[in-house]
Amino acid sequence: MRVSWPKQSADMLAIDTNLVIRYLTNDHPKQSPRARALIDGEAVFVAVTVMLEVEWVLRSTYEYRPADVARAMRSFAGLPTVTVEDGAVVATALDLAERGMDFADALHLGKAAHCSGMASFDRKFVKAAKAAGYNTVREA
């Protein structure tokens, strides 16, 4: 995954979740080929919020298993035309999700890395974070 915003960002097109989903699932006879042509044909930027939504849609609507979600998202992020915002954070979140942590929680954790710690009422998240070595996560 490319992890930095390119200097010439004006030459890049930001894309929405639905294009990524159509690209990955090829489930729409008209939109999927259009998504594929656009994404394969020009430089695109994918916001971390789009990646969060892609994971949720693949898991909840398409019933992908965490490993399949991670594989699909990594494959997409590795395309030569794709730049993912905070790609290193997204990649780490996918790693944690494959090991059982909720992807959204893993993203929250990654985005908060500059903080001294993180608090939550979600005991499952706190336990998963500690098991993954994030000892500064605590119950509120």
Report d(CA 99, CA 77) in Å as an integer. 20
pLDDT one-digit tens code per residue, 19-29: 999 999 999 99
Whichever domain contains 48, its CATH number is 3.40.50
Side-chain half-sphere exposure of 56, counting CA atoms within 13 A? 11
Report d(CA 85, CA 79) in Å as an integer. 14
Assess if residue 65 is contained within a domain. Answer: yes
What residues make up the domain containing 70? 9-114
Cβ(48)–Cβ(17) under 8 Å?
no
DSSP-derived secondary structure letter, 83: E
Assess if residue 138 is contained within a domain. Answer: no
Report the domain count for the chain.
Answer: 1
For the segment 91-109, the average pLDDT, to the nearest whole number, is 94
Assess if residue 62 is contained within a domain. Answer: yes
Collapsed DSSP state (helix, strand, coil) of residue 96: helix
Assess if residue 128 is contained within a domain. Answer: no
For the segment 96-104, the average pLDDT, to the nearest whole number, is 93
Collapsed DSSP state (helix, strand, coil) of residue 115: coil
pLDDT one-digit tens code per residue, 4-62: 444 446 689 999 999 999 999 999 999 999 999 999 999 999 999 999 999 999 999 99
DSSP-derived secondary structure letter, 10: G
